[in-house]
Structure 1
Amino acid sequence: MLKMRKGLGIIAALAIVLAGCGTNNSNNTASPSAAQPEGGETQPAQETLKPVELTYYFPGSPQKDLQTVEDALNKLVQPKINATVHLKLIDWGAYEEKMKVVMGSGEPFDLAWTASNFNNYFQNVANGAYAPLDELIDQYAPDTKKGIPDMFWNAVKVKGEIYGVPVFQQSTAGYGYIIQKAVADKYNLDWKSVKQLSDLTPFLETVKKNEPNLIPWEYSQGVDPFLTAPPMFGLETLGDPKTPGDLYLNDGGKVVNQYETPEFKEYVTMMRDWFSKGYMRKDASTLKETSADRKAGKNALQLGQIDIDTLAFEQAGLEATGRMSNSNKDVHSYDFQFVKPLLTTDKAAATITAISANSPNKERAMMLLNLLNTDKEIYNTLVWGVEGKHYKKVSENRIETITDSGYQTFSPWEFGNMRLTYLFEGDPKGGEVDNKFTNMWVDLNTNATASNALGFVFDFTPVKTEKANVDSVIDELYYAISSGSVDPGKYLPQFLEKLKDAGADTIIAEKQKQLDAWIAEKQ
């Protein structure tokens, strides 16, 4: 998954996602120890192509040197596909709304980053925002197709058609938490003893009492534990994390309203306690992302979508500085996983690049996507910037970023095939030797437990109206409740009633209908 360099997923983000990824599958098979993807053979000769301009929207923290990177990228791209790329980087907190406006207006852009749980890929497909890509992939990106396992392609199919190119990255959804190493060591905290989220309460209390300059627990709309980490609560997402209708991990056949579960009530009650005790920022419910806090090293503890944790790196003989160092190289962390990896559809579709249905240059846009998935120099220029200005090479596959250089996205999970990425300070020392670290996460993707509904994709089309109405209710009340900013005893019943009035039961019934049909087809 998104390594927490996003801040979970992401995000990375997420970013933010949190902080915000081939495998051996039956058909398209990529060996876990395969060499980096190779490209170039499938592109038409540059001289046969007329010059075009491509507009590429993606989210991230503002970068003052974006134009420099765009110029460097185009020096590499233009000779190959005779295209000039315009990078439209939108701040994480504004990206989702910006793309709604762009797509709603019919603006003719070419490419856009999207995801199962952010800038909702499946909803945008249902709304006709993205172009179908099967023929374009077969004609202009066969190398890309070979380099991404079938399970990832299946995760982005809607009614049997592909509408986005998934990023092959760390997608196995293990979960846990991340704690500043200095804090854990200073107070002798038994950070390996945690078995569930509530076990963090005494750690947070220690930070609150003794570290007034630190935020005990990171919370924002981009790293809400219930939406970001459903398996932590024994659930898995169907469609997207917000929409009512999940499965229990131990029951892959019955769709439930996750907001009506005892697990959700217990969670929001705990969050109310944490918020009331000052463990989170007072503006947690309206906070879109926390990249500034991460860069400043202000978070003592935070949620972690963790594929490989500190203990696993130690067992492999690798030294890792932890996910917090992805945002601030001077802040090291212990990363601890207490929910084992699970590969779910929403995580396989956690970061995607789509081509606009209104793009005037769909073929060239696909050629660019093929380059980002197969050309190491082009991929790393977009991810890390210009060598010597934004980073320096320390070995063939490892770099050191240059502080305050003007371009530091820390988002290799956001573009192309992550097998191509250079390792950097946040990655384990020695991991670049024989691609050891890359092979670890590829193996993990291969061997992770598959969810009961892996490959099931919910088609929102029959419930588009109800989906829009439910989204409005969630935007109005969910984050206030889930951040603990309001009393769940008063507001949770109101929230559930409004969801029902908005059509939650209709959505759940439609999910059950489609899931039953999907299960029947498999038998």
Structure 2
Amino acid sequence: MNLKKMLVLSVILVLIASMAAACSGKKEEASGGGKLEKVTFLYPGEETDRFGKFIDNELAEKLAKDIGIQLEVVFVPWSQYWEQKDIMLAANEPIDLYWDGLPDLSTIVNKKQAQPLDELIEKHGQDMLKVLPMEQLQGAKIGGQIYGIPSAYAPSSAMYQLVALRQDVLDAVGMTDVNTPDDLKAFATKAKEKFPQMKGPADIIFKPLTRYFTDEQYNWVAVEDLVVFGEDTKKAYSYFETKAFQEVAKFNRSMYQAGLYSEDLTIKYNERDSRMQTGLYLWVEGSLGKEMEIINSVKANAPEAELKSYLLADDKPRYITATGGEVLGIPVTAPNPEGAMKFINWLYSSQENYLFALYGVEGQDYEIADGRIKKLTSDEFFYEWMFRNQNYQLFAPDVSQEAIDQYKTWDEKAILSESIGFRFNNEKVKNIETALREIAGKQFAAIRSGFVDFDVEYPKAVKRLKDAGIDEYVAEIQRQLDEFLASK
């Protein structure tokens, strides 16, 4: 090729590159002409066709116009989420925002997976604070600093102690109520006889069962459900060594031996919500309003389905133990922490933005009539439960007024736990905690779900727990609890 042709070719390549850059630039420009800030959100679940298009189009346009950001959502399936989250953050992947469980906050902080948010909230979170009060954020404090946004702000007493079950099936087998483990077993037995196509319970519901079997109500205060706080004694206990846990495990063993539990309940424990939504299962652990969250997904597969939540031992006290079970975190290595906070603030800045993010485009994806919200498709957007806020929340047309009234007044007779706001710092016992978590996952998960012989496996598992340092671990939690309670 002669020199003249090479020069022509070089000019053409430069022009093509310039045009491509210009096109790319148009995509990344805010409505005011400035460049968009990229925000990457690590998100659990599957990307549906409509949700993906919504993110790329309507949401992208609104975020660019309103706050000048370009949101990229990285989807990770539920079954892989926590493992992938740890791997990606350890590898300093460019993640600006992610979701996790609030009880794991100390672990998240000590792994350097979350940065203090006080200054970001002060600078970019003032709209959020109008509907997510600062008292709510106290539950995500460690060492006096806020490390996450407790994302759900709603009635929360007896969190995760309810059972959301198929009320239509309960009615069909001639039962009217569920208040004890024996009631649940009777329900599962009768349902198996009358509806052999159904697959039984979707979940071992160990926290609702614990509520029933314990004399003193417990609040979990460590990772992997290792340690509980006794609401009466104000003491920390190794959960797996409590009498309540032993009763839970024995009950679940009887369910497994009766053929009422499947192996999936142990092997694929984290898929319990997905199982329930297939319309083929009887119950799943719940919190207040769980039936409202999942009914549309269940009905998509079982149109006749009706759900109702029950509190076992409903005569026992209900405690408010946490300011939400979930937390939004901004990693220490986030490329754009300010953009992440701007996005959270934008979502909570108005009911319009809130409904847009959670339900899509009004008139296309949902409609509002008489103060109720009706989904027009089965498409899912950002999880409603992940961002639920009682100031903006609307209910579906088929939710009874009785259920709404119960929901809104649920916490009126609840007791505020003395442990609320406590966050255990595991820095001094990290190695012990790692060993305990492994034992909990490998030995006690199977015992808890009745998958193995209790009399044979339980003593061996407790010995491993002792050898790994559970007593030292509980003592450190108790020391921090005593300090926390004395400071209140």
AA in 2 matched with 1:115: G
Equivalent residues of 2:163, 2:283 under 8 A apart: yes
Residue number among 263, 266, 269 corresponding to 1:285 in the alignment: 266
Equivalent residues of 1:323, 1:426 under 8 A apart: no
Q: What's the offset of the Cα at 1:333?
A: 2.3
Write the distance in 1 (CA, Å) between the matches of 2:347 and 2:80.
Answer: 25
The alpha-carbon distance between structure 1 residues 125 and 57, as it changes in their structure 2 partners (threshold 3 A), is same
Deviates more, 1:495-504 or 1:354-363: 495-504
What SS does structure 2 have at the residue aligned with 1:215? coil
The alpha-carbon distance between structure 1 residues 430 and 206, as it changes in their structure 2 partners (threshold 3 A), is closer
TM-score relative to the length of structure 2 = 0.83
Write the distance in 2 (CA, Å) between the matches of 1:396 and 1:362.
Answer: 39
The alpha-carbon distance between structure 1 residues 148 and 298, as it changes in their structure 2 partners (threshold 3 A), is same
Write the distance in 2 (CA, Å) between the matches of 1:279 and 1:215.
Answer: 8
Q: What's the offset of the Cα at 1:265?
A: 0.7
Equivalent residues of 1:178, 1:333 under 8 A apart: yes
Write the distance in 2 (CA, Å) between the matches of 1:441 and 1:334.
Answer: 12
Q: Which has the larger radius of gyration?
A: 2
In the other structure, the counterpart of 1:318 is: none
In the other structure, the counterpart of 1:54 is: 39
Residue number among 165, 190, 196 corresponding to 2:149 in the alignment: 165
AA in 1 matched with 2:174: N
AA in 1 matched with 2:228: D
Write the distance in 2 (CA, Å) between the matches of 1:161 and 1:107.
Answer: 24
Identity %: 24
Deviates more, 1:454-463 or 1:412-421: 412-421
What SS does structure 2 have at the residue aligned with 1:178? strand
Q: How many pairs are equivalent?
A: 446
Structure 1 residue 148 corresponds to structure 2 residue 114: no
The alpha-carbon distance between structure 1 residues 153 and 113, as it changes in their structure 2 partners (threshold 3 A), is same
In the other structure, the counterpart of 1:32 is: none
Write the distance in 1 (CA, Å) between the matches of 2:170 and 2:382.
Answer: 25
In the other structure, the counterpart of 1:361 is: 336
The alpha-carbon distance between structure 1 residues 60 and 247, as it changes in their structure 2 partners (threshold 3 A), is same
Q: What's the offset of the Cα at 1:81?
A: 1.5
Write the distance in 1 (CA, Å) between the matches of 2:296 and 2:419.
Answer: 32
In the other structure, the counterpart of 1:452 is: 418
In the other structure, the counterpart of 2:460 is: 494
Structure 1 residue 88 corresponds to structure 2 residue 74: yes
In the other structure, the counterpart of 1:399 is: 373
Q: Which runs of 5+ in 2 are unaligned?
A: 1-29
Structure 1 residue 325 corresponds to structure 2 residue 325: no
Write the distance in 1 (CA, Å) between the matches of 2:424 and 2:416.
Answer: 17
AA in 1 matched with 2:298: N
Write the distance in 2 (CA, Å) between the matches of 1:229 and 1:199.
Answer: 12
The alpha-carbon distance between structure 1 residues 484 and 190, as it changes in their structure 2 partners (threshold 3 A), is same
Write the distance in 2 (CA, Å) between the matches of 1:141 and 1:411.
Answer: 21
Structure 1 residue 372 corresponds to structure 2 residue 347: yes
Residue number among 376, 379, 389 corresponding to 1:417 in the alignment: 389
Structure 1 residue 64 corresponds to structure 2 residue 60: no
Q: CA RMSD in A?
A: 2.7
Deviates more, 1:140-149 or 1:79-88: 140-149
Write the distance in 1 (CA, Å) between the matches of 2:238 and 2:375.
Answer: 44
Equivalent residues of 1:60, 1:409 under 8 A apart: no
The alpha-carbon distance between structure 1 residues 61 and 402, as it changes in their structure 2 partners (threshold 3 A), is farther
AA in 1 matched with 2:343: L
Write the distance in 1 (CA, Å) between the matches of 2:275 and 2:398.
Answer: 17
Q: Which runs of 5+ in 1 are unaligned?
A: 1-44, 309-320, 432-436
Structure 1 residue 176 corresponds to structure 2 residue 150: no
Equivalent residues of 1:113, 1:352 under 8 A apart: yes
What SS does structure 1 have at the residue aligned with 2:286? strand
Q: What's the offset of the Cα at 1:185?
A: 1.9
TM-score relative to the length of structure 1 = 0.78
In the other structure, the counterpart of 1:250 is: 232
Write the distance in 1 (CA, Å) between the matches of 2:78 and 2:348.
Answer: 23
What SS does structure 1 have at the residue aligned with 2:224? coil
Residue number among 54, 72, 77 corresponding to 2:63 in the alignment: 77
Residue number among 365, 385, 392 corresponding to 2:360 in the alignment: 385
Q: What's the offset of the Cα at 1:195?
A: 3.2
Write the distance in 1 (CA, Å) between the matches of 2:402 and 2:208.
Answer: 30
In the other structure, the counterpart of 1:112 is: 98
What SS does structure 1 have at the residue aligned with 2:262? coil
The alpha-carbon distance between structure 1 residues 48 and 375, as it changes in their structure 2 partners (threshold 3 A), is farther
Write the distance in 2 (CA, Å) between the matches of 1:229 and 1:126.
Answer: 32
Per-residue CA distance 1:238-260 (angstroms, 9 max, x = gap): 433524321223222x2111111
In the other structure, the counterpart of 1:121 is: 105
AA in 2 matched with 1:123: T
Deviates more, 1:75-84 or 1:65-74: 65-74
